[in-house]
Amino acid sequence: EVNLVESGGGSVQPGNSLRLSCSVSGLMSERYSMAWFRQIPEMPREGVAGIYSGVSRPNYLDSVKGRFTISISQDNTKITAFLQMNNLRPEDTATYYCAASDKSLGERSWSYSSFYTYWGQGAQVTVSS
């Protein structure tokens, strides 16, 4: 069974930083993708950042380029994905979800939520003065 557990959300003022973590267990595939999505009420989930096994360059939503960084660490069968969010803006306010796929999706597919089988529980990020 694959489990994703998120941590690190919170409330900050504009310009500040937060780091989200996603601990993944049970994902046994050598090829995989990890991504962060965000969602505000009554809107579809939006891909924020994606990273893939065997591919060094991650992908980002245009509005977060230069501010957000996705990374992963792996220790045996446990994967941890991070989303470092700097210079946060009020429009970054959303519930953030980590997602995992047992495929290496790449640049063309990473932002489509339907390609991800496994999801975290969500972490609220609120940016407000």
Which pLDDT score is estimated for 19?
98
- What's the whole-number average pLDDT of the chain? 94
Concatenated DSSP letters for 64-86?
Answer: GTTTEEEEEEEETTEEEEEEEE-
107: pLDDT strictly greater than 90 = no
Query: Pick from 51, 58, 61, 52: which is nearest to 94 by CA?
Result: 61
- Beta-carbon contacts of 90 under 8 Å, excluding residues fewer than 6 positions away, are 14, 127, 128, 129
Chain centroid offset of residue 93 CA: 14
- Report how far Cα 40 is from the mean position of its chain's Cα atoms: 15
pLDDT interval class at 26 (50, 70, 90): confident
Q: 114 or 77, which is more confident?
A: 114
Question: CB–CB of 111/124 below 8 Å?
Answer: no
Contact 18, 12 (CB under 8 A): yes
Q: Is residue 76 predicted with pLDDT exceeding 80?
A: no
- 94-101 and 118-119: which strand pairing? antiparallel
